[in-house]
Structure 1
């Protein structure tokens, strides 16, 4: 890739470091989209041995790019995101990919389409891990950062997609147990 093209694209991607998510970190600041994507990729990497039949290199690449559109749109929490927001984000991704050489744009376009369609085991795994990482971060930040609706949402978010794999189901069940403990501790105090 031409160095100027690369530097310009990285400049766009830098916005993912600046754009914050609804989640908070344990030190009391809002998490960036880039931090979420990085930890999602780490989560997939650490679970690679649990999915020997899947292309985990592809899964990790999907984890790293899954929120690229948010460099333009910013983050909209899942419980507020509409179909129109999804379309706007898809348009943002299309715009971003035009900044890449054709071969890379095509390669990433295929990955985005696969993730949108959820028609492969890899795409389903990324979706399950994405929801799970979000919940883990919610738990780590604690109930002081939760909206009232999140007490219930933290119990149900991602249940359906996480049930697709035994590993993600076990992980989701464990995260739910952690959420319950956090809520019980809060009630005691």
Structure 2
């Protein structure tokens, strides 16, 4: 099983079906908050939906094309993060993440994104990591900005969010840039 310890308080672990209740409960607690920027809340309404997501994530991991992990802070599940996709032909990983509302503002997601970026370059030997965020989602956009990712541009109307389109800002960093900054 995949686990990645960042420090004494923070780690990532591959989600398993037995984690479904915790993930679903965390989703429910932050449903209104998360719904502002995430398009899947209305289709994740029962535990079975979360189980299906985890099973799909495990298949993606087994096929070496994605990695979705639970974020553990002081032993408690506080969010989900990972590579929504690993494109081996482009040697690029695409990071996605969400954090329960009550755990915002503690620097958790910045540390998680940093760890995932390190892992992509140092363990997977990839060349690029991308993070995409809705143009209006300042909290999500601040993470790649804080980590010195390059703003590579905007994809107009990149995502349908319940009743409107949102633009996505694409951030990227290359392995050589990441290593040089360290």
Higher Cα Rg, which structure = 1
Highest relative contact order (Cα 8 Å, sep 6+), 1 or 2?
1
TM-score by length of 2: 0.29
Between Structure 1 and Structure 2, the one with more strand by share is 2
Between Structure 1 and Structure 2, the one with more helix by share is 1
TM-score by length of 1: 0.28
